[in-house]
Amino acid sequence: MFTQRIGLKRAHKCQVSPIGMIVAISIIANSNKESIPLGEDIEMLQSRLLSCALAVVTALSFFDQVWASGFAIYDHGAKEQAQGNAVVATVDTPAAVFYNPSRLEVLDGANAEVGVSAGRSVLRFDSDLSGENIEVSSTPLVPYAFYSYQISNKMTLGAGLYSSMGNRIDYPNDWEGRFLVTSSEFKQVNFALSAGVRISDRTAVGLSVGMARSTIELENRIDLTPFTLPGEGSARLTAEGYGAYGILGVHHDFGPRFGIGAVYTTPMKISYDGHASYSVPAPLTPLFPNGGADTSLTVPQSAVVGAAWRFSPDWVAEVDVQWVDWNELEEQKIEFERTTAVVRDTSIPYRLKSTWTYRVGTLYRISDTSQWRAGYAFDPSASRNSGMSPILPDVDNHTFTVGYGYKKGSWNLDGFLAYNYGAPRKVNNSLPRMPEHRGTYQSQTIGGGVSVTYSF
């Protein structure tokens, strides 16, 4: 579902927040199927591998443009997003690598899927202190590529290249919270290998094992008045890190009408190596030395359970519930290579809480070639009021989706449209270098996307 969330969890919740790093700079700088023969024709095999490689390269060419103006991203598979991402019990595309690897076993032969989600996200902050109304926008682009290959009538393998988290937000350089943050960008690229295995007539299990590469770029202004100097300086931090994770999935069909699915995603620790740089008047450069900065974060564990009911051969609906343990992001420790009286190692509290997200989706087949889809999701804020920050201004999100799918021969074309409404949220707290943080945040996103799947 394309629910670009400006704030904590979306441009839509895996999950590493750069909040601690930017806050640290602010504090420091400012104090089913027949077996496929294994001995298949070599030319055919080469063709399949080439198709998969092209899909992956296509996705990689876009990943530098992943500007998700929120946090956890569920923008994979136009079919799944059209159903509000309520698909853990019914997903039947190669995107099962991400949604539920146990569902890979329903795919015959080989399948390659590439797609992209895009949109426009707008965040508004109405300050109670200055009366200032600030709007910041972004145009996130989220590409992805998935592949599945059936090796027997009981096992299918898969691979995926996608982004599970992202954040992009830019404030004016003269806004009231500039000493806390002016720019925050977070990108993550995931590569996963998967397997789905049918262990009985009605039950299958699956596993995805992945690696993630994460980058962070953060900026804020520096108040020079404590140094009896006019004007302002600036601080910038860039960092890169890697982590590993696993996704465990299962699904069970109780009969032709009713089935359930469940997925557990492990925590992931990402260790970052970074560099902090400062722009200040010459007399202050000894106090603000450029140098390395190291930190780490643990991406929260999560679990999803879904139940699907088939009303008729053409109509199915599903309800999913997801839990994300955001409490795991209570604290982030940051160490600087070069410390001074004002640049010091620090530990930043996050003040987050675990959340429950609710999704419902439906699919109706109107012919052998066409399907209509729709969905809704409610994703509550993970920020406690005391920790609500302009770095990741999280609000309660309501997402509405519709979509259409067309099949012709071995090709499937899917598309969707989505509207995300971030309900107004009042905030009244004190933050580092922003002692009075009072006002109202709200957001909205209009987006959509397409994906193309080819079955070999």
pLDDT digits (tens, 9 = 90+) for 176-186: 999 988 998 88
C-alpha distances out from residue 146 to 12, 96, 107, 304, Å: 20, 9, 13, 21
pLDDT at 450: 97
Q: If you search the block for the tokens 């390395």, which residue do you land on?
A: 292
CB 251, CB 92: distance < 8 Å? no
Q: Higher pLDDT residue, 170 or 66?
A: 170
Residue 8 has pLDDT above 50, yes or no: no
Average pLDDT of the chain to the nearest whole number: 84
Residue 35 has pLDDT above 60, yes or no: no
Range with lowest mean pLDDT among 3-12, 235-244, 265-274, 432-441? 3-12
pTM over 0.95: no
pLDDT at 405: 97
Phi-psi region of 247 (alpha: psi -120 to 50; beta: other; left: phi over 0): beta
Residue 83 has pLDDT above 70, yes or no: yes
* Number of independent structural domains in the chain: 1
Q: Higher pLDDT residue, 145 or 68?
A: 145
Residues in the chain: 456
The answer to whether position 416 is within a domain reads yes
When pLDDT is cut at 50, 70 and 90, the band that residue 12 belongs to is very low
Residue 275 has pLDDT above 90, yes or no: yes
The answer to whether position 150 is within a domain reads yes
Residue 385 has pLDDT above 70, yes or no: yes
C-alpha distances out from residue 86 to 259, 262, 359, 385, Å: 13, 12, 5, 29
Mean pLDDT of 176-197: 92
pLDDT at 421: 96
Q: Higher pLDDT residue, 313 or 62?
A: 313
The answer to whether position 13 is within a domain reads no
The answer to whether position 6 is within a domain reads no
Domain span at residue 340? 19-455
In the numeric block, which tokens belong to residue 240? 């890169």
Closest residue by Cα to residue 437 from 393, 380, 371? 393
For the domain that residue 305 is a member of, what is the CATH number? 2.40.160.60
The answer to whether position 421 is within a domain reads yes
Q: Residues of the chain with pLDDT > 70: what percent?
A: 83
